[in-house]
Amino acid sequence: MPPSNATKDVNDLGIRSAYVSTPLSDDHFTCPICLDLYVNIVSIPCGHNYCKGCVEIYWKERNIFTCPDSALAEADKLLEESLRAIERARAEILARIEVKRKEQEDRAGEFIEKIEQDIVELEKKKKEFEKLLEAEDHISFLQV
C-alpha cells in the first residue's frame, strides 16, 4: 500500500530542515574561551555556551558574573573608543606642530629679510668707504 500524503517524508515534499541544509561550523562545537571542543557544556542566561570550567574560571578570575562575549564586546568598544581618542590626540598634536612650524618659518622669513636689509646697508657703507679710500683729500670728502 502506497504511503498517504500525511505520512510522506518531509524531503519528498521539497521541505528541508534548517539543520540539514545549513552546515554547522566548528564554532558551534568550540568554547569561545578555550577555543577547544566543549567539555561539560553550559548555557548562561544570555544564551551563550561555554565549557563549565572555562566560564567558572573566567568569573572567578574577574570577580564579575557577566557573559564573556559581552565582556569582550565591551572591551572591543573601549578599545575602539581609546583608539579614536588617541587618533584625536594625534591629530591635535600634529595640528599644533604645524602651527609651531609655520610660526618658526615666519620668524625665519623675518630674520632673513632683516639680514638682507643689513647686507644692503653694509654694501652701501662699503661703497662709501671705498670712495673715501680713493679720494685724495679725505677731509674734503668727509665735509661734502
What's the maximum distance between 2 C-alpha atoms anywhere in the chain? 147
pLDDT on residue 26: 59
Rounded-to-integer distance, Cα 93 and Cα 85, Å: 12
Model pTM above 0.85 = no
How does pLDDT run across 62-120, given as a tens digit for each residue? 887 888 887 777 787 889 899 999 999 999 999 999 999 999 999 999 999 999 999 99
DSSP states along 88-139: HHHHHHHHHHHHHHHHHHHHHHHHHHHHHHHHHHHHHHHHHHHHHHH-S-HH
